[in-house]
Structure 1
Amino acid sequence: MPSTNVNIRMDIETKKEAEKLFDSLGIRMTTAINIFLKQAIKEQGIPFIISTRSSNIDLLKQKQEVSEADENIKKS
């Protein structure tokens, strides 16, 4: 498949931390971004909950609510 270049801006510290993380996972930042984009396309949305809450329990509840809402929409 042909490829294209995408330029993004981010703060230096975020880039450094992300590169360190992805390096520890054995992948490049380009690969990580492609994984994110493919998952977003597959789910037709952001592939994680965006929230002001930081508790994992709250995130799990929100994910369940989204899943239930999806099911209700599909039933309609």
Structure 2
Amino acid sequence: MTQINVNIRMDENLKKQFEAFCSEIGMNMTTAFCVFAKTAVRQNRIPFEISAESDPFYSEANQARLRKAIADLNAGKGKAHEIIEVTDE
């Protein structure tokens, strides 16, 4: 099968970290990217989950808390407070 070069751009530090990772698992970056490409084509999808879950605001627990707070406010269970202004001194 004919081979072709593919060029990608990435942060220099990320490249060094990825090269080190690949070395630790016994492959080089070319092999790692080929494994990724073959798996993506075979599964017809990105072969791993991409998520915003690293931000705790989007965690299911926090979203459930926010939904409950909104429901409580809509049901008239809220409590009004005075605004507290903070000054930098």
Question: Identity of aligned pairs, percent?
Answer: 45
TM-score by length of 2: 0.59
For 2:20, the equivalent position in structure 1 comes to 20
Q: 1:10 Cα shift?
A: 0.2
For 1:32, the equivalent position in structure 2 comes to 32
- Runs of at least 4 residues off by over 3 Å: none
Gaps of 5+ in 1: 59-76
For residues 16 and 34 of structure 1, what CA distance do their matches in structure 2 show?
18
Task: Give the structure, 1 or 2, with the largest relative contact order (CA under 8 Å, sep 6 or more).
Answer: 1
What secondary structure is seen at the aligned counterpart in 2 of 1:13?
Answer: helix
Q: 1:42 Cα shift?
A: 0.6
For 2:46, the equivalent position in structure 1 comes to 46
For residues 48 and 21 of structure 2, what CA distance do their matches in structure 1 show?
18
What secondary structure is seen at the aligned counterpart in 2 of 1:6?
Answer: coil
Cα root mean square deviation, aligned: 1.2
Alignment of 1:46-65 (within 5 A): 46-54=46-54
Q: 1:45 Cα shift?
A: 0.9
TM-score by length of 1: 0.69
Q: Match of 2:5, as an amino acid?
A: N
